[in-house]
Amino acid sequence: MLSFSCKLLKIPSNRNLIVNLCKYSTIKETKIQVKNQTINYVKEGNGPHKILCCPGALGTIWSDFKPQIEKLDKNQFTIIAWDPPGYGFSRPPNRVFNKEFYRNDADMAFEFMKTLGEDNYSILGWSDGGISAMILAAKYPQVLRKLVTWGSNAYIIEWEYQQYEKIRDVSKWSERMRAPLVKLYGNDGLQKMWGSWCDAVGELYKNGGDICKADLVKIKCPTFILHGDKDPLVAPEHPEFLTKNIKNSRLYKFPDGKHNIHLKYSDEFNDLVTKFLLE
């Protein structure tokens, strides 16, 4: 669920990778107004197959999708990546979390693409972004060509809730892991936003844990589910549950992958996704 989870859990093998990924590209960012909300985004490539990239919690264009924006084939694809409402440079206003925030993001993603004039596209959704992407695919099936999701879940179990609580206090994060988010949000802003996220998902858990289970059977487009078997925040039961409940879906696992498989194994990930999207 968390776009920066590998950082927060201090996974040493990913540290240099993460620092490099948080360096911004020279690709131009653009802002647009969508229903009184400022949305910051990039649009790269001239390919006929349009792709929307949806970041995870607190995530942004460059923290979450740099290898995909820069390396996916620009002749085959047009890559659109956004800072979700209230994240990164899609502010003001700052993000407000409540029990409907996943659904609100799904609706806003739909409206964002509609404002850009896009009505037929695929989605790459990571973590929180994958959850909202599944909701969008269920609610607006007419616009989705294909769906790719990883590090995502349709419900929350106790083990996951406990993992979130362990990293609630941002002062306990390592400086290396906290710095990119502090640069965006400030110390107090980061703690407030992260605490609000923890509160919101905590309420979902305490009210049964269901996020979007009923939506899965409504997804009609071909769906590619990927998962890192060593994901420290998403229990291994979730990719199996998604595959079982999304009719036209397939599953691919990275045996040594954690939460950020698209960053750690970007070349393999991009190849797999490219083949799926072009089938």
User: Of 89, 96, 44, 92, whose CA–CA distance to 70 is shortest?
Assistant: 44
Catalytic choice (49, 227, 259, 262): 259
CA distance 272 to 266: 10
Catalytic choice (90, 227, 231, 238): 231
- What would the pLDDT profile of 172-181 be if each residue is shown by its tens digit? 888 877 888 8
Residue-level pLDDT at 178: 85
Provide the pLDDT confidence category of residue 9 given band limits of 50, 70 and 90.
very low
Residue-level pLDDT at 21: 43
* Residue 135 near residue 208, CB atoms below 8 Å: no
Domain ranges of the chain: 5-278
Instruction: For 87-230, list the strands marked E by DSSP.
Output: 121-126, 144-150, 223-228
Assigned CATH class of 5-278:
alpha beta
CA distance 32 to 192: 26
pTM: 0.91
Q: Let me know if 259 is a catalytic residue.
A: yes
Q: Let me know if 127 is a catalytic residue.
A: yes
Residue-level pLDDT at 159: 97
* Residue 228 near residue 257, CB atoms below 8 Å: yes
Residues 4-21: b if buried by 16+ CB within 10 A, e if exposed = bbbbbbebeebeebbeeb
Average pLDDT over residues 178-197: 93
CA distance 31 to 46: 19
Q: Let me know if 262 is a catalytic residue.
A: no
User: Strand, coil or helix: what is 168?
Assistant: coil
CA distance 109 to 246: 21
Instruction: For the chain, list the strands marked E by DSSP.
Output: 30-34, 37-44, 49-54, 77-83, 121-126, 144-150, 223-228, 249-254
User: Strand, coil or helix: what is 111?
Assistant: helix
Residue-level pLDDT at 176: 73
Where residue 127 falls (left for φ over 0; alpha for ψ -120 to 50; beta otherwise) is left
Catalytic choice (5, 127, 249, 266): 127
CA distance 180 to 200: 23
- What would the pLDDT profile of 248-257 be if each residue is shown by its tens digit? 999 999 999 9
Instruction: Give me the phi and psi of 98, to 5 degrees please.
Output: -150, -175
